[in-house]
Homo-oligomer: A and B are copies of this chain.
Amino acid sequence: MACKDGRSAILEKGAQIIHRKGFNHSGIQEILDAAGVPKGSFYHYFKSKEDFGLNLLDHYATYFISRAESQMKDKKVPPIKRLKDFFEGFRFFFESNGCELGCPIGNLSQEMGDLSPAFRKRLEEIFLMMRSRIAGVLNEALRGGDLPGSLNANEMADFIVNSWEGAIVRMKVQKNTEALQLFDRMIFDSILKPTAIHNTGADSE
């Protein structure tokens, strides 16, 4: 921890604690204690708890982006396979942690969606960023002829992201990855199988 600055330490420990306990249940003192940072310094780095929360969303988004970058950019792997592997990687993560915690973005959407316009705005920006990465891969598949030209990549990407979030909610009560496996089969073995698509949206981009 010696060479890590206080702000990063607060965000990293805060990310872990809030992923488990939610935003409103996590106290600043608890996060500072875990980060080994004196209380006074919190307001040196962040204007308020909400400001900290918004920076935390950026922290989660950065993790998602770096993971997407590393797993979805290998052009040697067919685009749809890359997308499938990307979600499978998260499934392995949940398998290894007992299907706990869920997605921090989904959790905070549910917890803060009605409470903070600033959270809401930033969360939707992150959803749009997820959508954009997934739509990029779908567009590659479209260009390669792996998907029917009628597919609307943005709509499909939104549906994939939303359905994934729902599968994670279900996983939290099932405490197994059945819902994530069902998501995988429905999206990759059925919906994105060219022959299975009857009609994927009103107009393509």
Contact = CB atoms under 8 A, between A and B. Distances in A.
Contacts of A106: 110, 166, 169
Given A179-B162, A183-B162, A190-B200, A170 B24 contact: no
Given A182-B155, A182-B162, A114 B127 contact: no
A158 B176 CA distance: 14
A44 interface: no
Given A102-B113, A113-B102, A162-B183, A173 B120 contact: yes
Interface in A100-119: 100-102, 106-107, 109-111, 113-114, 119
B113 A110 contact: no
Contact of A164 (B111, B166, B199): B166
Interface in A172-189: 172-175, 179, 182-183, 185-186, 189
A169 B162 contact: yes
Interface in A148-169: 155, 158-159, 161-169
A110 B185 CA distance: 23
Contact of A190 (B22, B170, B197): B197
Q: Is the interface of A mostly helix, strand, loop or mixed?
A: helix
Interface residues of A, number: 51
Contacts of A124: 173-174
A13 interface: no
Contact of A110 (B102, B200, B201): B102
A200 B193 CA distance: 11
A77 to B, nearest CB: 22
21 contacts: A20-B114, A22-B111, A24-B25, A100-B113, A101-B114, A102-B110, A106-B110, A106-B166, A110-B110, A120-B175, A123-B173, A124-B173, A155-B186, A158-B182, A159-B163, A162-B163, A163-B163, A164-B166, A165-B165, A166-B168, A190-B198
